[in-house]
Chain A
Amino acid sequence: MKSKLNLDPKVVDSARNSAAHIASSMQDFIDRHTTVSTERTILRLLGIDGVDDVETPLPNVVVDQIKEAGGLPRGVAYWIGNAIVQTGLTPQEIAEKMSSGGLEITKLETGSTKDAEAAIMPAIEESLNEINKEKNARAEYLERLGESKQPYCYVIVATGNIYEDVIQAQAAGRQGADIIAVIRTTAQSLLDYVPYGPTTEGFGGTYATQENFRIMREALDETGEEVGRYIRLCNYSSGLCMAEIAAMGALERLDVLLNDALYGILFRDINMQRTLIDQYFSRIIIGYCDIIFNSGEDNYLTTDDAYESAHTVLASQLINEQFAVVANIKDWQMGLGHAFEMEPSMENGFLYELSQAIMAREIFPNASLKYMPPTKYMTGNIFKGHVQDALFNLIAVWSGQSLQLLGMLTEAIHTPHMHDRYLSIENAKYIFNNARDIGSEVTFKEDGIIQKRAQFVLSEADKLLADIAEEGLFSTIEKGKFAGIKRPYEGGKGLEGVCLKDDYYFNPFITLMLGGAK
């Protein structure tokens, strides 16, 4: 396809090569380490679930005990496998016994790695079967019920109460939403455990728990049948429990998952080592179970200027793409993020936004691009806000975005009310339909404002990526090149959960999932 923006493919390749270099140079570090939450993910996938009498999730109980005894470098897969060999119990029984104080797993007689691995294989196969069941169920729904044309209308619910969320989500589904995201409560990304059971109290969002996922999945399937359209479910995993939430999402058939280590580092002050290790395993799970991941580049523009720093968004998208490639994620699963966040009073701002959005589409032709609405320059003037959202929708259909997070006219005031969602879906559907083929009809003036802007942003991104490739990702973040926020290598939350693997460490899921195990 000819580039409408006259982008130089050589510059695109050069930028992408630098990004690939950045991702692969991190891999060595990632491969040498594990974390408490990566290990808890293995336990969850082995079917360990439930809480003890003080509400500590059993995966935490098990990992904490092993860590305390100094056994974490060997990995929980070994310890659970060995415990199966020694006791004949199931992983869940082992966890319960550890929790009640009846078992010290690291004090058992220790057998070979090979025997331990063989002993957990049945549990692993069962877990992969469960995931595959959900994958097939999704494919079956899509086949039978179908789905909307892209851009998909993506809206959020955020009442704090999962049952109230269900009411809002089902209403949104009936109004035409294609993706429902349940926003997490304010504190969750900093919790080093995943809460348990259905929850009814959250601030600015609702806890991500496996039970909440299940409740919402069931509700959306029900509404999907009613309206004759598959409704996708989305949640958030960036934070201290990235991979655990990915595993829960795989088991409860989430379709879209926010998953971005850089977001965690910059906006939640999660330690960079910790979250990059967790991201790797979480993306392998995502790749395997056909979830679309979303990256959070759009957020950079809330603390940095959208015009000045547009190239950092593209650079980060390329890095996120390459981190995904390493984890065997398919192109269509890459929900790379960007946003419509330029100052509304800027002359020709719309042209620059259009240029950026079309550029993203040309550089990532098969990705499921996630386009985020104006947020920062939304004000209490809801009427003007609705117009800002309309411009955003026009660019989305024009540039062929995939996942359109609909702007809400009340963005500056509160999390959406039921009718805010209705108004925004109506706004989007009107514009998508009215301008459906505008993208294939209109070309741009050679060397005009739109072409030149995209070429400039691309070349700046290329330069930045070359710098990062040379300097290394960790030190780039330390210097504050993304979002204007500096984070230290040893700072932030969760560093104490990072652990060097020993020579006998193994995580069978990584091999099996990367190999595309059936």
Chain B
Amino acid sequence: MDNCTTANTSVDLTKVKPYGDTMNDGQVEMAFTLPVPYGDEATEAARQLVKKMGCDEPSVVYSHDMGGGYTFFVVYGKCQHTIDYSNIHVAKVESDIMERDECGQYIEDNIKRDVIIVGATTGFDAHTVGIDAIINMKGFHGHFGLERFKNVVSLNMGSQVPNEELIAKAKEINADAILVSQTVTQKDIHIQNLTEMAELMEAEGLRDKMLLLCGGPRVSHELAQELGYDAGFGTHTYAEHVCSYIITEIVKRGRV
């Protein structure tokens, strides 16, 4: 009975699997629809599918007839795959995050001129709340935007801005960094749009003059780098993250 008085909390980090209420029980829950008519065969199909996904003891706990030959399922299973957590590598924007005041001071000490930043939501995307959160005075969640940063001059061009216009503006004001925001991701429209922007920058010979950053709820640093951007930012980004990155890069790249 000894082993009943303590729980097994020791994790083998080289073989991690989901946790329900007992270490390594592998418990996962899933919900999905299959394009097959409701009935016993549908349930069996869902069960077999989850088994193929690598779950033992798949159990269809709920199914519902969606009409027109579609069935919805909730399925439990015990995942058999494991992950070597000790060997995980994630691409992250590498810069120490400075607070707003520290950013201002850093610019004064190391760059000794105003840092110029222009941003927009490009293409036909009309979502501005994300880019506003980074640039506008008001900021987001109590974190002020770039407009409140000392020694930073920023311009928010709004939404639905063609890539060409954003680049033209960046050239005109001699920007240090361009911020591109993308929210609509259906059919990968953001990838198309971001790629076109990066290519235009390349064609204009601006890639080694200006930093190119993108952001949005479905943007990661890894994705950004794949598309030829210097950095990418997802949810929970604040102006100080973006500013810290930009100003340390300016110094690192000797563009002071």
Contact = CB atoms under 8 A, between A and B. Distances in A.
Interface of A: 158, 160, 167, 170-171, 174-175, 186-187, 190, 203-204, 267-269, 302-303, 376, 412, 414-415, 417-419, 422
Nearest to B73: A419
A419 B184 contact: no
Contact of A419 (B68, B72, B160, B189): B72
16 contacts: A171-B67, A171-B68, A174-B67, A186-B123, A186-B124, A186-B126, A186-B189, A187-B124, A204-B184, A267-B126, A269-B160, A303-B128, A303-B132, A412-B217, A415-B186, A419-B33
Contacts of A376: 129
Given A175-B66, A418-B70, A203 B32 contact: no
Contacts of B32: 419
B129 A174 contact: no
A419 B124 contact: no
Shortest Cβ-Cβ A-B pairs, 8 listed: A174-B67, A187-B124, A186-B124, A419-B72, A203-B189, A204-B186, A419-B33, A204-B184
Interface string B61-85: 0001011101010000000000000
Contacts of B160: 190, 268-269
B45 interface: no
Contacts of B147: none
Contacts of B123: 186
Interface in B117-164: 123-126, 128-129, 132, 158-160
A414 B186 contact: yes
B31 interface: yes
B186 A422 contact: no
Interface in B79-131: 123-126, 128-129
Contacts of A203: 124, 184, 186-187, 189
Given A417-B33, A418-B33, A175 B128 contact: no
Given A269-B158, A269-B160, A303-B128, A174 B184 contact: no
Interface string B7-43: 0000000000000000000000001110000000000
A422 B158 contact: no
B60 to A, nearest CB: 14
Contact of B66 (A158, A174, A204, A412): A174
B129 A302 contact: yes
Given A175-B66, A422-B72, 6 more contacts: A158-B186, A171-B66, A171-B70, A174-B66, A268-B126, A419-B33
B124 A190 contact: yes
Contacts of B64: 422
A419 B63 CA distance: 11
Nearest to A185: B124
B184 A186 contact: yes
A170 B68 contact: yes
A415 B124 CA distance: 17
A174 B126 CA distance: 33
Contacts of A417: 33
A267 to B, nearest CB: 6
Given A269-B160, A417-B33, A167 B68 contact: yes
B184 A303 contact: no
A418 B132 CA distance: 33
Contacts of A303: 128-129, 132
Interface string B178-200: 00000011110100000000000
